[in-house]
């Protein structure tokens, strides 16, 4: 046993001795990155020093560490892909990668990983690429600390910042993404985590899930995107501790849920969105301890949703807290704080003695006919709203929080 460990250690040390570092730069014998990769063997390091490298598409087809010192610039001059990774266990770190091609038929990227495992992409700066980082059919990869910027305008065809397709076990950590179509896009991706990213000013969504199960996104900021996050056709997605901020627009949402089930929405902040959460065809979700502050609509729950549990949330300063499009209510609301609640608490147990109907008459009217918004805050509507509170006729009467809280939860 001891012997074999010893041999293993020796082998490892031997390996370390054998691993070479090939320097690339104007002051070094090797001036070209492609030549350095050709010279390298598995396990080597290619260290690229500061400078501008215009070598077209660079392909890494060996298990090497590909490191940049002082952010050397890889410029594809708008022709094709910049960096293609076609080997397992490659590390790409510290590059400035700019100007990939912009094509409609194939998707040229800043960095693309083809069907590989254990690839790590750290601390790169990507500027003006069609797609930023693209993981295709990969597993156990890490994308961390990259700064991804593009300058797409509304009309232009533009790709996603971090695009993951048919992958498993990914970690997307602490990246900053802006100006792309979707900040992060997950399509057929499972068992992955998205943590501490900032996705802002993207044209469509900050984060987008399609057909991706068992993922979680934790402590991210989604600000000022076309719409915040869209989770569609996915199961078991956990959404924890994120901030959804200022996603304004006609069809904009903080969080769009469509045809999803069994997820968990915990401790998020929805601030200043057109709609905080929009749910359609969503079932068995638990929405717990979230803040809904200053949104147009706190939550829009369409009648196609069922068995969702909305519990212990704060609804503060929203124009409408809740809205729905039908009379069917298959969801439960328990122990939330509603700043529009006007009940009392005689037994001083912190729970209002009068049940609260969070769905206002006016929310129902505007859902059916948007132009009724003209009458918002008019005397007639206030009167109708009050009488509706006493005798519900239009709003479904089982749409109710029986234990509304008297004080907002400290979240």
Partner 1 sequence: MKKPMLFFALLLVLASCVSGEPKPIQLNTDACDFCKMTISNGQYGAELITQKGRYYKFDDVACMIHFAKSNTVVPYKAFFVSDYLMANTLIPAEKSFFLQGGTINSPMHGNAIAFTSEKEAKDYQSKYKAALLTWKELYSSY
From 90, 209, 107, select the one nearest 143 (Cα to Cα).
90
- 190 in Cβ contact with 214 (< 8 Å): yes
- 99 in Cβ contact with 123 (< 8 Å): no
CB of 250 to partner 1, least distance (A): 8
Query: What CA–CA distances, in Å, run from 359 to 54, 219, 339, 409?
Result: 60, 30, 13, 21
Residue 16: strand, helix, or coil: helix
CB of 310 to partner 1, least distance (A): 21
Point out which residues bind partner 1 (CB under 8 A).
Answer: 104, 154-155, 157, 181, 203-205, 210-211, 226-227, 230, 232, 249-251, 256, 258, 278, 280
CA-atom Rg of the chain in angstroms: 26
| Cβ proximity to partner 1, 186 vs 278, nearer residue | 278
Q: Strand 182-190 vs strand 243-245: parallel, antiparallel, or unpaired?
A: unpaired
CB of 227 to partner 1, least distance (A): 6
Residue 255: strand, helix, or coil: strand
| Cβ proximity to partner 1, 205 vs 222, nearer residue | 205
Structure tokens at 130: 């069609």
Measured between alpha carbons, how far is 358 from 316 in angstroms, rounded to an integer? 12
CB of 273 to partner 1, least distance (A): 14
Structure tokens at 328: 């069917």
From 352, 294, 301, 291, select the one nearest 322 (Cα to Cα).
301
User: For residue 4, what is the enclosing H or E element?
Assistant: helix 2-18
| Cβ proximity to partner 1, 191 vs 304, nearer residue | 304
Measured between alpha carbons, how far is 290 from 168 in angstroms, rounded to an integer? 29
Task: List alpha helices for 263-328, DSSP H.
Answer: none
CB of 199 to partner 1, least distance (A): 15
CB of 206 to partner 1, least distance (A): 12
| Cβ proximity to partner 1, 113 vs 400, nearer residue | 113
| 11, HSE (Cβ side, Cα atoms, 13 Å) | 6
| Cβ proximity to partner 1, 157 vs 383, nearer residue | 157
CB of 277 to partner 1, least distance (A): 13
- 80 in Cβ contact with 109 (< 8 Å): no
| Cβ proximity to partner 1, 140 vs 304, nearer residue | 304
CB of 152 to partner 1, least distance (A): 9
Task: Classify residue 264 as exposed, middle or buried by CB count within 10 Å of its CB (0-12, 13-18, 19+).
Answer: middle
| Cβ proximity to partner 1, 251 vs 398, nearer residue | 251
| Cβ proximity to partner 1, 132 vs 352, nearer residue | 132
């Amino acid at each position: 046993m001891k012997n074999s460990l010893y041999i293993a250690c020796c082998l490892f040390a031997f390996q370390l001795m054998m691993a070479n570092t090939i320097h690339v730069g104007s002051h070094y014998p090797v001036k070209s990155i492609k030549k350095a990769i050709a010279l390298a063997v598995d396990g080597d390091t290619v260290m690229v020093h500061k400078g501008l490298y215009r070598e077209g598409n660079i392909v890494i087809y060996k298990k090497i560490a590909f490191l940049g010192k002082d952010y050397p610039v890889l410029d594809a001059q708008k022709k094709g892909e910049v960096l293609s990774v076609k080997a397992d266990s490659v590390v790409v770190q510290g590059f400035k990668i700019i100007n990939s091609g912009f094509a409609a038929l194939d998707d040229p990227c800043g960095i693309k990983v083809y069907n590989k495992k254990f690839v790590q992409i750290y601390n790169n700066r990507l500027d003006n690429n069609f797609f930023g980082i693209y993981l295709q059919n990969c597993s156990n990869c890490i994308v961390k600390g990259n700064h991804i910027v593009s300058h797409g305008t509304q009309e232009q065809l533009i790709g996603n910042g971090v695009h993951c397709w048919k992958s498993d076990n990914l970690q997307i950590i602490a990246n900053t993404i802006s100006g792309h179509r979707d900040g992060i896009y997950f399509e057929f991706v499972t068992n992955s985590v998205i943590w501490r990213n900032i996705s802002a000013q993207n044209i469509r969504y900050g984060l987008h899930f399609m057909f991706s199960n068992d993922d979680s996104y934790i402590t991210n900021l989604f600000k000022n995107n076309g719409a915040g996050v869209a989770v569609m056709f996915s199961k078991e997605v956990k959404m924890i501790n994120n901030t959804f901020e200022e996603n304004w627009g006609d069809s904009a949402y903080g969080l769009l849920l469509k045809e999803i089930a069994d997820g968990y929405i915990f401790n998020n902040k929805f601030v200043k969105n057109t709609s905080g959460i929009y749910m359609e065809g969503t079932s068995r979700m638990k929405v717990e301890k979230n803040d809904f502050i200053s949104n147009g609509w706190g939550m829009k729950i369409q009648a196609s949703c069922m068995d969702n549990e909305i519990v212990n949330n704060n609804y503060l300063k929203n124009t409408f807290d809740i809205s729905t499009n039908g009379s069917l209510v298959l969801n439960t609301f328990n122990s939330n704080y509603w700043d529009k609640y006007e009940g009392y608490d005689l037994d001083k147990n912190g729970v209002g003695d009068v049940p609260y109907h969070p769905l206002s008459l006016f929310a129902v009217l505007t859902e059916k006919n948007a132009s009724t918004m003209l009458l918002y805050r008019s005397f007639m509507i206030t009167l109708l709203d009050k009488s509706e509170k006493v005798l519900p006729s239009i709003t479904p009467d089982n749409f109710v929080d029986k234990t509304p809280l008297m004080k907002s939860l400290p979240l």
